[in-house]
Structure 1
Amino acid sequence: MSDLSTQHRLIPTALEAVGTACAVSRAVQANLAQLCEVTKDDRSPVTVADFAVQAIISLSLADQLDPLDRLIVGEEDAEVLRTDKQALIRKAVLEAVQSWRPQVTETEMLDAIDACNHDGSGDGFWALDPIDGTKGFLRGQHYAIALGRIENGKVVAGVMGCPNLSIDQSFPLGEVDSEGVMYAASEGAGAWEFADCNATSSPMRILAQKYDASRPLRFCESAEKGHSNRGDSGKIIDAIGTEGEPARLDSQCKYSLVARGQADGYLRLPTSKTYIEKIWDHAAGLCIATEAGAIVSDVRGNPLDFTQGTRLEKNRGVICAIDGLHQKIIAAIDSLSIAKE
């Protein structure tokens, strides 16, 4: 695996788990209409995918890792899934998991989902977002499977599958690629790209762009208005002196666009004074972007603090940008009095 041999010791296991989950989630997404018809619930496909991916990653890590190495802070728990009202959803989740491992029982699946109940304390754990970008998933567009490794309050490794994102940067972002791409990074070992969401494909090193004031800058932000303050984004972009609308897509895939040099900045600006970011929404993406040479901080320029349990209690908003541009964004936020307390 070339220089990947210096990656974090748990990266191979995480790559295999996320790659498997990408294939299963893609099959669920391809079956959107049928799932909605069977369950009579328009949101059922993303519910099925969320639970199935969490179960698959939980079981995969349990297969290969010691108990202390497989602690997971997961976004989901199986309490609702165990109820009679959710019988059809539960059956669909089990079928999705069994498409990967036919012998898994319903009890094993539910217990695997509930095993992802770590509270974000201690020396080491994983932060998992099984389907990041739920609305993108339901639209048949971009989503991510994001698994970040946190040790002693610091993100030290990350794996992210982007099942609908093309490895070919000339491919339109608004269109879906049938093969997808997966990313892995760990502290001090760089960021790497895997074609087809396949852990056994030949990895390619990725690097963020260098800042160049003479060229147009490219930004990206969430496809959902409620996830970031677009008005403030526009003010920042104007203040920096560049033109053009940001590319808009769902999920942590935006971190990978900056990491692989396809975008220069990703802005996630607060839409309210009370919202606090969740660790699983940023851990994997942060590691991949920073190892590719980008800078990630909150809107004040402070590093994201992963010592506060499951939420980024000490931070507001997130800025991911190439070196040179990041400093200009933070200066613009300050001068425009954006996201003041």
Structure 2
Amino acid sequence: MSQYAKELEVAQLAVQRAAILTKRVFHEKAKGTVSKDDKSPVTIGDFGAQALIISALKANFPEDEIVAEEEADRLRGDPQLQDTIWELVRSTGLDDPAAERLLGGALADKAAMLDVLDMGKSQGGARGRIWAIDPIDGTKGFLRGGQYAVCLGLMVDGDVKVGVLGCPNLPVDDAAPLTADMGAEGQTDDEGRGVLFSAVLGQGAASRPLGTGALVEPRKRIAMRPIEEMAGATFCESVESGHSNQGESAQIAQRLSITNPSVRMDSQAKYGSIARGAGDIYLRLPTSKTYQEKIWDHAAGDLIVREAGGQVTDTLGRRLDFSKGRTLAENKGVVAAPAAVHGQVLKVVREVLKL
């Protein structure tokens, strides 16, 4: 078996099971949003998906640490919300018994679910095996039926070794181009949608359809698209103007002679999209001098793009550093592009940002 084979299998199945839960929430439940300290919406899907992923990781790798976005504190005083999430967690499983057994089966009860949710409080760092989880990256995209992702990455001594993204609303077809409306409402998981991206350091990146049981075969290798003329390139950015400076992105596109409109979508679905050549460049430009990106928002996508032939740095040309704790404390922004043109893109980014 190749290195990290078990970690890759468990991660893909855990993300797939969590994605099943998120789709159930979207189709069956009121979204149940509550307010976080930063006022962004949280859904019952966030808590349920995180509980399923952590339970699978702890069943297989009990000594590993976990950095996760959600905590159970806000649930402990809300029995009704607890009941809603517990019913989802209890009744969501893979329809393949062998795959379900590998993930460790169901949680015992509500109390166990709350305890599992709180196992994601690791502070991260540069030593040991640490998993980073974002149960629903792009919560606003999820709520409106746009793009979102279930994200899981394994870091060993601060270096990302395994990355998995479950994107229920992206087309399965790797050749499907990005379109300007890809991040809009109505991109829900109808037939032909739902893709699982994965990568292991040094072993390339791949995609396969999201399934409901065992991993769907075949697994297809993916690669970034060579850019022959920059005018024909497509770049992605965040939907929310608070996440990335869209005005500066427009200036960068103009200086690069890119004529296609930018594709705005939520979540690490942007990383997966450029990794398979549906798009080409992903820019996340700082809107605040003090904001620090969270490691769970980038770990899996960073590895998948690099293993697909891309380069990922911050706006100063530094590799993303996942060894500094729960945030990318030493980085500002993100510039992801095919390796052959990354330097050209970065040069223009630095000119526009006056770095």
Q: Which residue of 2 aligns with 1:77?
A: 71
5+ residue gaps, structure 1, are: none
Q: CA deviation at 1:268?
A: 0.3
Contact 1:28–1:45 (Cα < 8 Å) also in 2 = no
Offset of 1:303 from its aligned partner?
0.3
For 1:68, the equivalent position in structure 2 comes to: 63
Paired with 2:31 and 2:120, the residues of 1 have a C-alpha distance of: 25
After superposing the two structures, state which structure 1 stretch, 93-102 or 21-30, moved more: 93-102
For residues 115 and 135 of structure 1, the distance between their equivalents in structure 2, rounded to whole angstroms, comes to: 25
Which amino acid letter does the alignment assign opposite residue 151 of structure 2?
A
Q: How does 1:9-28 map to 2 (within 5 A)?
A: 9-28=6-25
Q: How does 1:98-117 map to 2 (within 5 A)?
A: 98-100=90-92, 104-117=108-121
8 Å CA contact 1:289, 1:296 repeated in 2 = yes
Specify which of 209, 221, 225 is matched with residue 195 of structure 1.
Answer: 209
**Per-residue displacement from partner, 1:171-229 (whole Å, max 9, x unpaired)?**
76243333411111010111110112465211111011112126601101111111100
Q: Contact conserved, 1:182 with 1:193, CA < 8 A, in 2?
A: yes
Residue of structure 1 equivalent to 2:176: 170
Q: How does 1:22-101 map to 2 (within 5 A)?
A: 22-32=19-29, 34-36=30-32, 46-65=42-61, 67-69=62-64, 71-83=65-77, 86-100=78-92
Provide closer, same or farther for how the CA distance between residues 162 and 322 of structure 1 changes in structure 2, counting only shifts above 3 A: same
Residue in 1 aligned with 2:263? 247
Q: 2:337 aligns with which of 321, 332, 340?
A: 321
Distance in 2 separating the partners of 1:139 and 1:50: 15
Alpha-carbon distance in 1 for matches of 2:31, 2:314:
39
The answer to whether the 8 A contact 1:129-1:280 is kept is: yes
The Cα offsets for residues 95-147 of structure 1, whole Å up to 9 and x where unpaired, read as: 11011266631001001100111110331110101110010011122110100
Identify unmatched segments of 5+ residues in structure 2.
94-105
Shift of 1:8: 4.4
Deviation at 1:148, TM superposition (A): 0.6
3-state SS of paired residue (1:193) = strand
Which residue of the partner structure matches residue 196 of structure 2?
Answer: 182
* Matched letter for residue 117 of structure 2: I
SS in 2 for 1:256: helix
Would you say the 8 A contact 1:296–1:318 is kept in 2?
A: yes
Q: Secondary structure at the match of 1:251?
A: coil
Q: What letter matches 2:9 in structure 1?
A: P
How far off is 1:242 after superposition?
Answer: 1.4
Task: Specify the alignment match of 1:155 in structure 2.
Answer: 160
Secondary structure of 2:79's partner? Answer: helix
In the TM superposition, what whole-angstrom CA distance separates every residue of 1:269-324 from its partner, at most 9, and x where no partner exists?
00111111110000000111110111100001110111110111110001111123
Give secondary structure in 2 for the equivalent of 1:115.
helix
- Distance in structure 2 (CA, Å) of the matches to 1:271 and 1:147: 26
Q: Does 1:299 align with 2:315?
A: yes
Distance (whole Å) between structure 2 residues aligned to residue 289 and residue 266 of structure 1: 10
Task: Kindly state the Cα deviation for residue 325 of structure 1 after the two structures are TM-superposed.
Answer: 2.4
User: Structure 1 pair 204/55, CA: closer, same or farther in 2 (3 Å)?
Assistant: same
Percent identical across equivalent pairs? 40
- Structure 2 residue identity aligned to 1:87: P
Q: Distance in 1 between matches of 2:234 and 2:118?
A: 40
Hey, what's the Cα distance between the residues in 2 that align with 1:6 and 1:80? 38
Name the SS of the counterpart of 1:301 in structure 2. Answer: coil
Determine if contact 1:320/1:326 at 8 Å carries over to the other structure.
yes
Decide whether the 8 Å contact of 1:267 with 1:319 is kept in 2: yes
Return closer, same or farther for 1:35/1:137 CA change in 2, 3 Å cut-off: closer
